[in-house]
Amino acid sequence: MGTMGNMGLSPRPKIALTLTRERIIGIVLPVAAYAGLVLLRTHDITRTFWLFSDQILYWDTAQLPFTQQPLVGPEQHVGGYALGPTYNWFVWLSRVTLGPFVDNLPHAGAVFQVLVHSAFDGVLLYALWRKTRSIWQATAAMVLVTTAPYDLALSATLWNPSLAAAAIKGAMAAVLLGWPERSLVGVGVVAGLAWVSMHFHVPAVFCVASVFVALVITPVIKRDYRLTGLRVSVIAMVVGVMQLPYLVHRMSAVPGTEPGGVAVTGSLGATLSGEASLRIVESVVGLGHAIDRILVDPWEVGWVGWIVAVCAVAVVVRRRDDMPLQALTVLPLFFSVVGYAFWVGSFDEYYYLSQMTPVVLTVLFGATALAGRRATYVGVAALILALAVLPGRVRQARTIHRMPGYDLLVDGSREVLRRGVTVRTITADFLPTGADPEYLFGLLGGDIDPEGAWVARIQSDGLVSWESTVSR
């Protein structure tokens, strides 16, 4: 009788959720990387947070209601404003989410930035592992990228160039994972991630252009003009929508009241007119110096640029069947060299921050292409090297963009506030030149009274001494 009830019925399928080795790696590796990077980047952030003019400007802007946020991004060193307000919105979001937990202090913005940046790093690690099928190669590349002293330091600072580099990582990860090949939505996501980096920092333009090439190169090669047109249309639509706030700003701005990118247009004009010469050699040297400063520091390795050059040639020759990969690795470096050849200003290292991921990926894929069947050994050796230099890189990072005494300034400002007296000024002789000893006091709710009866001096031990301004 027991079998009669199942007559004519097929057995109920069993859904088995098996944790294969691949699934475990795909979950554990990015999560572990994320957690490790968050801990590494936020180490001592409440003691050594970098608080100077840019950070004060960004955090002051974040105090405004969202409806009063500027429709442009931060003013750029090379002239003009960033092309959209996303960075301002980002900092505002960090203030309203994390700010209340730390008394509205500005290091909340840096912590929020670390959380987002590390997430992009985790996704890129997963993408590299899926692309290479080598845990050694993927992890080595990620360690070399994320623990570069200059990048490691800036990622824990409330500063827009670092976030531009993070957005580029996200866009490149999505391309490596094949999102654009699956749907036009994937194309739009990648285009948005790439273009938002321009909202953060304009020098990311060379990586942005390369990502756009990666999005259309495959259908172009296949002569699928319909798909090419669709992808170009999606890219244009995403960029157009993202530029609406900037367009509104430009239409409402009073002529002559803001910077207009004179440094960039002036450089192009001077070079094209013959007033300034094309600086190909200086551009190559600038890129090489940035690689040395960002990726190799604190060691002096003058020939590192030659390694990148050899690997770039290897990618072009050995990976010629993977044009999107070439667009993510070699092309940003090519665009950078050509683009900065028209630049008449200085070649500051942080201009190249977004390009360090393409540099490392070029070395990774170039070296493994040269190694052929021995690529695994290259990955293992690279990982051993990355881990061997890790302690030195971390130590070096803790000397870059750090302000020892930030915690003392916080404690001292709170003590002045608790005292409840009228303060004419606050001083802190232990702070470096350019730091504002009164800013945190204002954020905590205090007011500086020009007629106040007391001068507060925050000392190097965090204690506060007082001096009366009242004449006896």
DSSP 71-124: SS-PBPTTSSB-SSSHHHHHHHHHHHHTGGGGTT-THHHHHHHHHHHHHHHHHH
Question: Which stretches of 98-201 are DSSP H helices?
Answer: 107-132, 135-146, 149-155, 160-176, 179-182, 184-200
d(CA 148, CA 144): 6
| 325 CB-near residues (< 8 Å, 6+ apart) | 131, 176, 315, 319, 365
Q: What is the pLDDT of residue 469?
A: 82
- Let me know: does 94 contact 109? Beta carbons within 8 Å: yes
- Rounded CA separation 361/145 (Å): 9
What pLDDT is recorded for position 77?
64
**pLDDT, position 437:** 94
CA distance 344 to 341: 8
Angle formed at CA 340 by CA 303 and CA 246, multiple of 5 degrees = 135
What per-residue confidence (pLDDT) applies to 345?
A: 79
Q: How is residue 12 written in tokens?
A: 């109920």
d(CA 370, CA 310): 10
What is the C-alpha to C-alpha distance for residues 391 and 389, in angstroms, rounded to an integer?
6
Block residue for tokens 């905590």: 444
What does DSSP assign to residue 458? E
Q: How far is 20 from 33, CA to CA, in rounded Å?
A: 20
Of the candidates 170, 239, 233, 169, the one whose C-alpha atom is nearest the C-alpha of residue 199 is 239
Q: Other C-beta atoms within 10 Å of 312: how many?
A: 22
Q: What pLDDT score does 73 carry? A: 85
Residues 138, 193: Cα–Cα separation, whole Å: 22
CA 333 to chain centre: 17
Beta-strand (E) ranges in 311-461? 423-427, 454-458
Tokens of 450: 């020009």
* pLDDT in the model for residue 78: 60
Facing residues of 467 across strands?
455
φ, ψ at 20 (rounded to 5°): -75, 165
What pLDDT score does 192 carry?
A: 97
- Could you read off the pLDDT tens digit of each residue along the chain, which spans 472 residues? 444 444 444 455 444 445 677 888 888 999 999 999 999 999 999 999 999 989 999 999 999 999 999 998 887 766 567 789 999 999 999 999 999 999 999 999 999 999 999 999 999 999 999 999 899 999 999 999 999 998 899 999 999 999 999 999 999 999 999 999 999 999 999 999 999 999 999 899 999 999 999 999 999 999 999 999 999 999 999 999 999 999 998 888 766 555 555 566 667 777 777 787 888 999 999 999 999 889 888 777 777 888 999 999 999 999 989 999 999 999 999 999 999 998 887 888 889 999 999 999 999 999 999 998 899 999 999 999 999 999 999 999 998 999 989 999 999 999 999 998 899 999 999 999 889 999 999 999 999 999 889 999 999 888 999 998 875 4
| Structure confidence at residue 411 (pLDDT) | 94
Q: CA separation (Å) from 261 to 75, 242, 266, 344, 436?
A: 10, 19, 8, 14, 29
Distance CA 3, CA 7 (A): 7
